[in-house]
Each structure stands twice: as structure tokens, then as C-alpha cells.
Structure 1
């Protein structure tokens, strides 16, 4: 494995950590770094704090910016996997040695670590729609190096008092960006500017449509005491389906259960590697089919993820069903693991809808 690109990447990561970005940036600060190769903006935000709590998440383009804001608005910020699998991106984190996998350890063993090394090792991952995080491809090493270097510049400029990420009234859609340009010799020059990104204009939301007769039949039902819970789960990775880069496809599972008893009512299972946005678009139809089977309309539906709220809110409002958004109880994780194991043993063509 060629170590020179990794040496530059690790050097950029250690320089970023040495700047103590957690003292300067909040988890709501978003900035951009332009890819010198294709000109696309890479939007980034920091999470966590000093040591092994520091992470930098980078998403590409307009949809990446939208994903970062979704991360900020998700009630349980530790559960971001549905968003991380939605758009292309990169991730950097500082972790203890015990969290390194064999590939990470092989790379680190061949590198020169700084004298001030505190025992927290940088790890880097590629985020691809429909796949679990994987190790970087060769072309991503250089891009992440550039992003980390320019992120350090932004942090240092803020610390020096020459730059601010503070939102100015009337300019809420402006973002600080490090923009790049190349001369004829391929030398990259960087400058700091502000770019305007109005998401409502750049990402128009599709107008949902549903079966009008089915909707009317459900609305005509009396409201009962039952409350439902909607969850978007990720099945355990099947490494036998990994691609040539070692990335395993994600299998999404949409689960509807009784909120009080936690008894599952139905599950929609996607094809491994399926597009998450397309999968989410079909979920209101699954919910409608379930509501048709129930004798009464549920009085309330509980969701955790902002993405599920976005896809279900209008439908539930039309049906006269209240929506509650909050983090799910921790004890649900064990139940989810048992259910996912059961679903993995189901032998049927995917996608599939299961009724319990």
C-alpha cells in the first residue's frame, strides 16, 4: 500500500486536531471547501469535543448541505446512519487504538506519528449511498487531505479574529467557503469567500400523492386509543455481498409497531444497496395499507428520525393522526436486534412487505 498519500492525510488530521477546533466551532457551524478537481463544494461540520470525541463529517453538494442540517435537527444526534447513507461523503474521527481495524493498523504502523501524539488515532471513512462506511478510495485520500487542511485554515482564521462563521441577519443562507483555483502548472490557490445556498430553491420538495379512496376510507374510521411507532432500521451488514472496495450494501427495514406493547405490525424490507430516498418515498403507501387493516385510526404516531417525520407528516395530518417526534427508549435496541435477526432468516425476493 502506497504510504505517501496517507502520510499527508494523517499530517493534515493531526494539524486539524492541534488547532483544537472544538474550542472554535460549534456543532451547528457549517462551512465549505471546494474540490479542486471538479469544483463541487464539500460541506462540513464538526461534532464532539477534545480527544476521541472529535469528528468531522463532510457531504458533497447541495444534497450534502441539506443532510448536514438534517443531522443538526435530528433529536437523537447519535443516530445518524439513515442520513449518512443518503448522500456521498467523507468522515474523519479520532479514536483509541482499540477501535482501529486491521487496515487502519497496517497504515498506522508504516507512518511517522507526531511527537505530541496523545493516543487518539485518526480514522477515515468513505460514505456512499446504499453502503456501510468503508475505507477511502485512492481518489478520496487527496480530497479529504485538502478538506482537513482548509478546515484548519478556517479554524486558525477564526481564532485570529479575521473570520467569523456567525450568521448575519438577512444572510442566513450564506456559508463561509474555501474556494480553489488552479494555474497552468496545476498549482492550487485558495481564498476565503461566502457562498449563498438557498436550499428551498435548489432542492424543491416533490408533492406527495396517495390513493384518495383509501385515504378517505381511513379518515372515516373512528379514532382509537392505539399509538404506533415508526422506525427505520439497518440490517446487519452481509460481508459476502461486499464490493471490490470492501463496502457492504445496506439493507433498510421500515418497521411499524405498537408503541406501548412494542409488538411489530408490519415491516418493509428494501433490496440491499437500494436508494434510501426512493425507499422512503414508498413508505407512506406501506403505512396506508396498514391503517386500512386496523379497525380504528391510531390516535398518535411516534417517530425518531427527522427524515421519517418529513415523509409522513403531511399524510398523518391529512388523516387526522397526531405526530410525536422524540428519541426512542434505549431498551428498543435489543428488540430491534432480535427482529432484524428474524428478518434476515426470511427467504423471499426483495423488496418485500411482511405483516405480523
Structure 2
């Protein structure tokens, strides 16, 4: 990152992103200035030249105590960034992405918890980023890349960091910088030889900032049990009180579009599209767009009940593609006498989903 600076604006804000983080603690200008300096130091090391995405670096959050798993991107030259995935869930999501179990951007946004810094072209900066960088004295020449600092929370699109998130991100950048410097200075260092074992940095108390490096074996605990889908009791009573015909197979599915839900200038959730589709006819019985921060099982259960009320028919069997979704729905289906099964493919749902996602991308009926 270039060191040459333009003149800073005369007045720096005490807090940044105040309007964008209503109800939360916005970061101080001092915190963002520190992040900027740390990002400059990190990118000066060209970390993508010595680290692959899978070379995780562990940093323990000094306040929450949670472990952050840091990954540097940039070896392919497409994206230059450092993501810190937070806690056991963050590591689990990273491993799923590494195994290509999460390939859809919408699902990535809906399920990931991390803080990150990314170097982007000026054309990709939001107004708030430009204002902050001017206040920090960042060069504004053509072709220069600029750092942005963001957080991703499960169910929400990337947004500006709060005070606590800025502190966590700063600690992670320091940790990554320490490991990058160690690897660059000692080519024989091999931190990632053992499976699930990563270097972890710990700051040593003293007048000068020093860090201790140790190897940390990370063993993921089992995923917590899935909570059953929540359904309003009055809705269940209404359904049970009807003499519905029982026939056919229904496919239930949930996908994430990445479309934003919320007002401009505030943290937006990404859209989740739930569908109930008749397996034989391909008819979409009850599509619904929901806030992806709502539990998937709750959203799909709501769509299922709307579908049987609209069609006045109970399916003999419900098919889903996810064991987790099956576990969520099993108590509900059992109470209605409907079997639920996990299958590899949902042909009717896949066809309906491609049309709905095309609609969200503005491509509906453009063939």
C-alpha cells in the first residue's frame, strides 16, 4: 500500500459510521486509523506471496476470549483480503467452503460470521469508505487500491465494523502480520504440516509489543442439535381440524439469493427463498421470501403449512435435500402423519428455484 499521503481533512470525526450503526457502538476514528495503519503494514508484507488460503492463523480475542481463524486471500491475484472467521462455527464454515460444500454466495452470506479487510479499486468504495480514507490521508491516484473494513454476521450482508469488531479485526491483522514476518524471514518454518494444527499468536506484556507463537490443534466440537421448527399452536390446530385428502409428494426447499432486505444506509439481511413444490406437476404451491436471519426450519415449516392450506391436501411424503432440515421438520411432520425423507435431488424444486433466482437477478423470462 503506498505510503505517500494526501493532506488530511482538517476535522476528523470522533466516531465513524454513526448513522449506519444506529443502536450499536460505532468505531472511534482512532480505532479506524489504527486499522488503516495495520492494513498498510500487512499489505506491505505481500502476505499472499507466502500464505495460501488454507494456511490458517489463530488469534484469541482479548475481550471475548473467542478464537479467530484468519485466512489470507490473494495468491490467485483476484481478491486481496484477510478474513477472520470467528469461533468454532466460523472455523466450521471455513472448512465447508474449503471443501466446496458452500459454493453459492447467498449461502455464504447467510451462514458466515467473520470480520475482514479487503483491498479494492476506488470504484468499489462506498461513500462512507471514501470519506474515511480522505480523513486518513489515503492517496487518491488512479489505479490505487484502497482498504475497506467489514463484518459479516449470519443472515446479513457485509457491513461496517462496530467498535468491538474493529478491535477484533485489529488483533487479527497483528497476528497475521507476526506470522507472515516469521515465515518470510525463515523459509524453513512449516507451521501447517499437521492436520488441524495452526500457529497461534499471543501478545507478551511489556513496554514494546512482542508476540509469542505456539502451535494450536483445533478440534471442532460436534455441531449442536438442531432446534425443531417453531409453529404457532393455533395454526396447527386449524390444520388438524381439517379433513384434507392425503396424496402425492411435496418437495420442500430453501435457497439464498443474496438480494438485500432492508433500507438503504442500514445493515441489510439477505433474502431466503422457501418453496413448497408438488413433485409430480412441478407446481409451486407456496413460495415465500424471508429474512435469512430467521431459522431455516421455521421458514420452511411456514411454507409447508401455507401449501397444504392452499391446496387442501396433505402429502403422503415430504422430501428435502438437507439432513438438518429433516431434523427440524420431523416433529411437525410426525404430528401430521407425514413422512419426511432426505434425497440427493429435488428436480421439481430445482427447476422452480432457477426461475425464481433468475427473477431476483432481473433475468426472469429473458431467454
Shorter chain as normaliser: what TM range? 0.5 to 0.7
Query: 2 CA distance for matches of 1:209 and 1:140?
Result: 31
How many corresponding residue pairs?
309
Aligned-residue CA RMSD (Å):
4.5
Q: Decide which of 266, 289, 294 is 2:286's aligned counterpart.
A: 266
Which SS does the other structure have where 1:32 is aligned? strand
What whole-Å deviation, never above 9, does each CA across 1:119-164 have from its counterpart, x for those lacking one?
1111111223443322122333333222112212212322323533
Cα gap change, 1:72 to 1:108, in 2 (>3 Å): same
Query: 1 CA distance for matches of 2:94 and 2:254?
Result: 22
Query: 2 CA distance for matches of 1:95 and 1:260?
Result: 48
Q: Which residue of 2 aligns with 1:334?
A: 358
Say if 2:121 is the partner of 1:96. yes
Which SS does the other structure have where 2:286 is aligned? strand
Q: Decide which of 205, 217, 225 is 1:196's aligned counterpart.
A: 217
What whole-Å deviation, never above 9, does each CA across 1:240-264 have from its counterpart, x for those lacking one?
6x6xxx3234453324558999864
Question: 1:45–1:68: 8 Å Cα contact kept in structure 2?
Answer: no
Question: 2:204–2:210: 8 Å Cα contact kept in structure 1?
Answer: yes
Q: Decide which of 298, 303, 319 is 1:282's aligned counterpart.
A: 298
Which SS does the other structure have where 2:213 is aligned? strand
Q: Which residue of 1 aligns with 2:203?
A: 180
Shift of 1:68: 1.7
Question: 1:52–1:94: 8 Å Cα contact kept in structure 2?
Answer: no
Q: Which residue of 2 aligns with 1:64?
A: 90
Query: 2 CA distance for matches of 1:261 and 1:233?
Result: 24
Query: 2 CA distance for matches of 1:93 and 1:260?
Result: 47
Shift of 1:105: 0.5
Which SS does the other structure have where 2:182 is aligned? helix
Q: Which residue of 2 aligns with 1:124?
A: 149
Query: Equivalent residues in 2 for 1:232-251 (5 A)?
Result: 232-239=256-263, 246-251=266-271
Which SS does the other structure have where 2:160 is aligned? coil
Say if 2:66 is the partner of 1:43. no
Cα gap change, 1:237 to 1:207, in 2 (>3 Å): closer
Which SS does the other structure have where 2:192 is aligned? coil
Q: Which residue of 1 aligns with 2:235?
A: none
Cα gap change, 1:235 to 1:62, in 2 (>3 Å): same
Shift of 1:101: 0.7
Q: Which residue of 1 aligns with 2:10?
A: none
Query: 2 CA distance for matches of 1:222 and 1:257?
Result: 11
Say if 2:47 is the partner of 1:11. no
Query: Equivalent residues in 2 for 1:218-233 (5 A)?
Result: 230-233=254-257
Query: 1 CA distance for matches of 2:193 and 2:228?
Result: 33
Question: 1:235–1:253: 8 Å Cα contact kept in structure 2?
Answer: no
Q: Rg bigger for which structure?
A: 2
Q: Which residue of 1 aligns with 2:19?
A: none
Query: 1 CA distance for matches of 2:138 and 2:282?
Result: 49
Q: Decide which of 118, 123, 146 is 2:171's aligned counterpart.
A: 146
Cα gap change, 1:333 to 1:268, in 2 (>3 Å): closer
TM-score (norm 2): 0.65
Query: 2 CA distance for matches of 1:140 and 1:85?
Result: 19
Question: 1:85–1:130: 8 Å Cα contact kept in structure 2?
Answer: yes
Cα gap change, 1:5 to 1:315, in 2 (>3 Å): closer
What whole-Å deviation, never above 9, does each CA across 1:167-203 have from its counterpart, x for those lacking one?
42xxx333321123546x7x754211122332134x4
What whole-Å deviation, never above 9, does each CA across 1:80-134 have from its counterpart, x for those lacking one?
x434444542122111100001111111112344799961111111223443322
Query: 2 CA distance for matches of 1:142 and 1:207?
Result: 33
Q: Which residue of 2 aligns with 1:311?
A: 324
Q: Which residue of 1 aligns with 2:133?
A: 108
Query: 2 CA distance for matches of 1:94 and 1:14?
Result: 10
Q: Which residue of 1 aligns with 2:273?
A: 253
Question: 1:180–1:190: 8 Å Cα contact kept in structure 2?
Answer: yes
Cα gap change, 1:101 to 1:114, in 2 (>3 Å): closer
Structure 1 unmatched runs, 5+ = 215-219, 303-308, 341-356
